[in-house]
Amino acid sequence: MNVKSVVENKEKYEVELTIEVGQEEFEAGLEKAYRKNRSSISVPGFRKGKAPRKVIEGMYGAGVFYEDAIEELYPQACAQAIEEKGLDSVAPPQVEVTEVGKQGFTMKATVTVRPVITLKQYKGLEADKILPTVTEEAVDRELQQYVDRATRLEPVERAAAMGDSVVIDYEGTKDGVAFDGGAAKGYELALGSHTFIPGFEEQLVDMKAGDEKTIDLTFPEDYHAKDLAGQPVKFAVKCIEVKEKKVPEIDDEFAKDVSEFDTLAEFKDDLKQKIIDRNMAQSEARFRQALLGQLCDQVDIEIPEAMVNAQVDRLVESYASRLEQQGISLEMYMQYMAMTADKLRDDLKEPAVTQIKQQLALDAVVAAEGITISDEEVDEEVKKAAANLNVPYEQVIEGLDKEPLKVDLARDKAMALVAAEGKPHLVAAEDDGDIKVTEVTKDDVQEESKEEATGEEAPAEEKPKKRTTRTKKTEEAAGEEAEKKPAARKPRAKKTTEEGEEAPKKTTTAKRRPRSPRVRNNFPSGGHTVL
């Protein structure tokens, strides 16, 4: 596209571009707008969609297609002008069309540019680093997860007790009228799980298969459905089946069934090592987060509002995407939580500012160290992502914009450098048990820091011999299909974006469309006006 642009400073971190789109480009845009809209325009004497452009312009005004043509052309024109002037834009430009006619149009674009910061110090930062402690209790908790997965429910012919599961049909009524979400058939409920509102599960105790009863309850005052909150209701319940838990014996045979090991002792040793590895990883993550916080403390600048708003937009989009993966729309979530869009954005401003400071601080380290990312490094990262997603590499790399990924990888390198140069204050973890199985030592932490700095692995301790002839029978619990939840249940609180998450994540973001420009009312007389 052939555009002319003039740049001038406006405010701190803002520049104003005067951009001219000539007659040739504008005419192409008008023709495209005509072809796009002609099928919806009725002109006497012509079949719908067959009226020539000149006839439509004569009937509705010369500017009838101006708005759509500008809408089509301005994003590319802005992007081209920003690139030509070498501006590091950090937010969609604010655009205002000042002149428009057959010869083209002129617009002013206010562009927010990236603030430039200088860090006083990024090496030798100090922060606490926890020395994790692994107790017998922690190992037992880890083991219990395998026990729970191996536990089976078996039908019994006795009365139900707490800890059992019951299969029930139920229907809730208020003033004799059934309410939405208050009924189900063949629903399996674990007694004592507190899945339903208080008092429901307790009244199912002592019921046998075939028993029927009516339960009188009152919904909590803070129940999410306002028409039911604090209201008395009745539930007609029929018990179909009673099931009790069959817990396996925790012995060598159990270890063989749920793991790759021949003995329970070997299995527990492996669980212990996994806990150590996980705790060490968490300790390192917290150490890095603390260092990143200190790095951000040195970023003493006024972040442009447009930059904050753009980051909030990204957080909202990310949040909506995660909700959609759970089958929930953002609108539904906000309605459920009695939250407005403005309130959500206000809540996200603080984490947005924190993330921007983190990014600016890491970008400053990247610049200071001259960190670069090669195409080969990007390919390696994409291959890892493809393997994790179990999709072909070609499918992931096709059409991928590598530049945002390079930025993220460079920031990762910068953070690794800050951590390697950081000085840990070793702090013992709080003991959560009486018997210590093992303990991470100061040498362990120092060795890990060496690995971070050199990229070399420390000599690994000899692990228990694994049973290689047996296939693992355990499965990850993730990905299980969620059950439909009746209205009688208490709602789970949804997690919002929290400040302090590791940033930045290795994701690529689609290019966001700039906002539609404001167009002054200076069209030819009788023309179409854009407000």
- DSSP readout, 45-80? TS-TT-S-HHHHHHHH-TTTTHHHHHHHHHHHHHHH
Is the pLDDT at 35 greater than 90, yes or no?
yes
Q: Is 86 left (phi over 0), alpha (psi -120 to 50) or beta?
A: left
Residues 392 and 445 in one domain: yes
Cα 53 to the center of its chain, rounded Å: 47
Q: Would you say residue 386 lies in a domain? A: yes
Query: Percentage of residues in the chain with pLDDT exceeding 90?
Result: 66
Which of 471, 437, 461, 438 lies closest to 261, judged by CA? 471
Structure confidence at residue 209 as a pLDDT band (50, 70, 90): very high
Structure confidence at residue 18 as a pLDDT band (50, 70, 90): very high
Residues 292 and 416 in one domain: yes
Comparing 101-110, 346-355, 356-365, 476-485, the range with the smallest average pLDDT is 476-485
Comparing 254-258, 284-288, 335-339, the range with the smallest average pLDDT is 335-339
Residues 264 and 353 in one domain: yes
Q: What are phi and psi of 391, to 5 degrees?
A: -125, 155
Tell me, what CATH number does 210's domain have?
3.10.50.40
Amino acid at 25: E
Residues 394 and 412 in one domain: yes
Average pLDDT over residues 41-50: 88
Beta bridge partners of 233: 217
Q: Would you say residue 309 lies in a domain? A: no
Q: Would you say residue 341 lies in a domain? A: no
Structure confidence at residue 302 as a pLDDT band (50, 70, 90): confident
Q: Would you say residue 121 lies in a domain? A: no
Residues 423 and 279 in one domain: yes
pLDDT, tens digit (0-9, with 9 covering 90-100), for 380-395: 999 999 999 899 999 8
Is the pLDDT at 125 greater than 50, yes or no?
yes
Q: Would you say residue 77 lies in a domain? A: yes
Domain that holds residue 16: 3-114+514-519
| Average of per-residue pLDDT values in the chain | 82
Q: Would you say residue 167 lies in a domain? A: yes
The predicted structure's pLDDT at residue 120: 84
Q: Which of 206, 222, 246 is the last residue of a domain?
A: 246
Q: Which of 408, 432, 454 is the last residue of a domain?
A: 454
Residues 133 and 271 in one domain: yes
pTM: 0.64
Average pLDDT over residues 170-193: 94
Residues 235 and 356 in one domain: no
Q: What is the dihedral of CA 493, 181, 170, 229, to 10 degrees?
A: 60
Is the pLDDT at 526 greater than 80, yes or no?
no
Q: Which of 454, 469, 495 is the last residue of a domain?
A: 454
Q: Which residue has the higher pLDDT, 187 or 399?
A: 187
The predicted structure's pLDDT at residue 420: 96
Q: Would you say residue 32 lies in a domain? A: yes
Mapped onto helix, strand or coil, the DSSP state of residue 399 is coil
Q: Is the dihedral of CA 176, 178, 183, 189 positive or negative?
A: negative
Structure confidence at residue 8 as a pLDDT band (50, 70, 90): confident
Residues 87 and 193 in one domain: no
Residues 268 and 227 in one domain: no
The predicted structure's pLDDT at residue 437: 38
Alpha-carbon distance 210 to 240, whole Å? 6
pLDDT, tens digit (0-9, with 9 covering 90-100), for 224-264: 888 899 999 999 999 999 999 999 999 999 999 999 999 99
Half-sphere exposure in the Cβ direction for 238 (13 Å, CA): 8
Is residue 270 within 8 Å of residue 142, measured between CB atoms?
Answer: no
Residues 417 and 366 in one domain: yes
Is residue 63 within 8 Å of residue 524, measured between CB atoms?
Answer: yes
Comparing 111-115, 288-292, 344-348, 478-482, the range with the smallest average pLDDT is 478-482
Which of 358, 343, 349, 397 lies closest to 375, judged by CA? 397
pLDDT, tens digit (0-9, with 9 covering 90-100), for 424-472: 998 887 655 333 334 444 444 445 444 444 444 433 333 333 333 333 3
Alpha-carbon distance 163 to 197, whole Å? 17
Average pLDDT over residues 259-282: 94
Number of residues written out for the chain: 531
The predicted structure's pLDDT at residue 301: 82
Is residue 10 within 8 Å of residue 16, measured between CB atoms?
Answer: yes
The predicted structure's pLDDT at residue 431: 54
Comparing 13-22, 228-237, 435-444, 503-512, the range with the smallest average pLDDT is 503-512
Residues 239 and 257 in one domain: no
User: Which stretch of DSSP H or E encloses residue 234?
Assistant: strand 232-246
Looking at the 3D structure of the chain, how many domains does it have?
3
Residues 231 and 366 in one domain: no
- Interacting residues of 468 by C-beta distance below 8 A, sequence separation 6+: 260
Is the pLDDT at 504 greater than 70, yes or no?
no
Q: Would you say residue 186 lies in a domain? A: yes
Tell me, what CATH number does 50's domain have?
3.30.70.1050
Alpha-carbon distance 47 to 527, whole Å? 23
pLDDT, tens digit (0-9, with 9 covering 90-100), for 389-424: 899 999 888 888 899 999 999 999 999 999 999 999
Query: Percentage of residues in the chain with pLDDT exceeding 70?
Result: 81
pLDDT, tens digit (0-9, with 9 covering 90-100), for 321-334: 999 999 999 999 99
